[in-house]
Structure 1
Amino acid sequence: MSNYKTMLTQQEIIDQTATHVQALLSGEGSGHDWWHILRVWNNAKTIAATEKADLFIVELAALLHDIGDHKFHNGDETIGPRMATEWLTQLKVEDNIIATIVAIIKELSFKGAGTTSDMSSLEGCIVQDADRLDAIGAIGIARTFAYGGHKNREIYNPHISPELHNSFEAYKSSTAPTINHFYEKLLLLKDRMHTKTARALAEQRHKFMEVYLEQFYAEWEGKL
């Protein structure tokens, strides 16, 4: 790791951040809880192992990426970056490192099928890949229905078609059934991974979702 001049060691900063985030998010029931953070953190470290990235930035951004998710703050996209800045400033992390981490948090979110989510750093690409891996596959399916239930959404309504949103505002304001989310986001993520490692991991998870949907529709129509 690089030698950042802080009163705490890098490992102490990471450990304290993990403890802080765990305290904030433990017990959350929509699929955006501490265990999601832990999985993204682990995914990010796995991906970073094959990339020439700053692991200190990757780990902190992974830990803090959902510290103030706009979905739970009336769509306010400024809360997460602000909370991360306040926390890292308290730990006396250098300003340029804070700026990079905050940029990652601002850029990370999926913003709709018809929009782009460009990352301005390699570290950001890694954390976005790690977060998107946790949105697909078996765990992604579980999280999708947990969030749908949290928002009181229908599981499926054959009369409501998926919509490929062309703006973040349209995507954020959607109240569509949960199954639509597979087509509006989840099935699109495999081809939007940045790193070779994430693309390889996404393949199997993507196939699992396709099999799941086949089973879902067969059961829905009474064929199985």
Structure 2
Amino acid sequence: MPALKMPSMRIFRNYLTPQVFRTSKFFTTKHKMATAAELIPRVENHVKQYMSKFDASHDFAHIKRVVHRAHIIHDEIVADAAKKNQPVPQYDMTTITLSALLHDVGDRKYVDLKRENPKTVINTLLLGFGADSELAVKIQAICSAVSYFEEIKDLQVVRNLIDQYPELAIVQDADRIDSLGAIGVGRVFTYGGAKTRRSMLESIDIFDWKLLKLRPLMKTEPGRRMAQEATGRLEQFKKWWVEEVVIEDGYELRIT
């Protein structure tokens, strides 16, 4: 009987989890580290599946917007520096792309703590897909610091981390822009309906205690420009909201 022909390694890498891939007989310690061209598609495929179980406020469409916006912010920073004859900042594009792809993996709003450790899940995933250990540590550190609520615990910690990993500033701004503007409005109500029992009025309160506080925390000049316009849209929506819900505070039951 002829020997069975094994599928190509590319097929296995698309479907095995990073942990299984790392420990399978198809992977050995002698296997070379993955190149960026190999690593990024593996991570993208994994994140696409990972985010498929989340609601639409934190789905893969959100990830794609953050990746796209992070690239725009990077390109504008470089273009602005060149236009002003200033030294062009050096960023690692692989780090930006991977961090934008992975920034919601292990998100505490969704993570199953019985299966994943938010502090190490990204590092483990990247090592499983063949990333260099230094890169894996770097991406884990960046993704762990993207969160607004993590930052406000200690602003200086994030400042120090940006000094070490400047790509964090770009990814953080890109993620926060997606909480503003029309998209931000949609995400607020989507999350409120999917994950909580809060009323629409309670969802609007998030504008004041989080969303309208994001603009001063933007780290890049392009991020600040984008946030200014998108925050204006939030403020306009809130104004319309107040005008339209005033009935809730004073209505009458007419008899005749």
CA displacement at 1:137 relative to structure 2: 0.7
Match of 1:194 among 191, 194, 219: 219
Provide the C-alpha distance between the structure 1 equivalents of 2:244 and 2:154, rounded to a whole number of angstroms: 35
* Aligned equivalent of 1:167: none
Query: Where do 5+ consecutive residues of structure 1 fail to align?
Result: 157-176
Distance 1:54 1:113, change over 3 A: closer
Query: Where do 5+ consecutive residues of structure 2 fail to align?
Result: 1-30, 78-88, 248-256
Residue deviations 1:136-165 (CA, integer Å, cap 9, x gap): 110011001111112111111xxxxxxxxx
Match of 2:189 among 145, 162, 176: 145
State the AA in 1 paired with 2:117: I
Q: For the Cα contact (< 8 Å) 1:6–1:94, is it kept in 2?
A: no
Provide the C-alpha distance between the structure 2 equivalents of 1:213 and 1:41, rounded to a whole number of angstroms: 28
SS at match of 1:135: coil
* Aligned equivalent of 1:54: 92
Provide the C-alpha distance between the structure 1 equivalents of 2:145 and 2:151, rounded to a whole number of angstroms: 15
CA displacement at 1:113 relative to structure 2: 9.2
Provide the C-alpha distance between the structure 1 equivalents of 2:153 and 2:124, rounded to a whole number of angstroms: 30
* Aligned equivalent of 2:128: 90
Q: For the Cα contact (< 8 Å) 2:73–2:170, is it kept in 1?
A: yes
Provide the C-alpha distance between the structure 1 equivalents of 2:151 and 2:102, rounded to a whole number of angstroms: 25
* Aligned equivalent of 2:147: 109
Indicate yes or no: 2:226 matched with 1:182. no
Residue deviations 1:29-70 (CA, integer Å, cap 9, x gap): 250111111111111111122252111111111101101210
Indicate yes or no: 2:118 matched with 1:80. yes
> Structure 1 or 2: larger helix share?
2
Provide the C-alpha distance between the structure 1 equivalents of 2:147 and 2:54, rounded to a whole number of angstroms: 19
Residue deviations 1:167-212 (CA, integer Å, cap 9, x gap): xxxxxxxxxx211110111001111100011111111100000000
Moved more, 48-57 or 205-214: 48-57
Q: For the Cα contact (< 8 Å) 1:113–1:185, is it kept in 2?
A: no
Aligned residues: 198
Match of 1:29 among 32, 49, 55: 55
Relative to the length of structure 2, the TM-score reads 0.71
SS at match of 2:148: coil
Provide the C-alpha distance between the structure 1 equivalents of 2:153 and 2:33, rounded to a whole number of angstroms: 41
State the AA in 2 paired with 1:98: A
Distance 1:21 1:74, change over 3 A: closer
* Aligned equivalent of 1:39: 65
CA displacement at 1:86 relative to structure 2: 1.7
Structure with bigger gyration radius: 2
Provide the C-alpha distance between the structure 1 equivalents of 2:74 and 2:118, rounded to a whole number of angstroms: 23
Percent of matched pairs sharing the same residue: 31
Relative to the length of structure 1, the TM-score reads 0.81
CA displacement at 1:80 relative to structure 2: 3.4
State the AA in 1 paired with 2:183: I
Distance 1:81 1:59, change over 3 A: farther
* Aligned equivalent of 1:7: 33
CA displacement at 1:91 relative to structure 2: 1.9
Distance 1:80 1:41, change over 3 A: farther
SS at match of 2:171: helix
Distance 1:199 1:146, change over 3 A: same
Indicate yes or no: 2:170 matched with 1:126. yes
State the AA in 2 paired with 1:106: S
Q: For the Cα contact (< 8 Å) 2:95–2:139, is it kept in 1?
A: yes
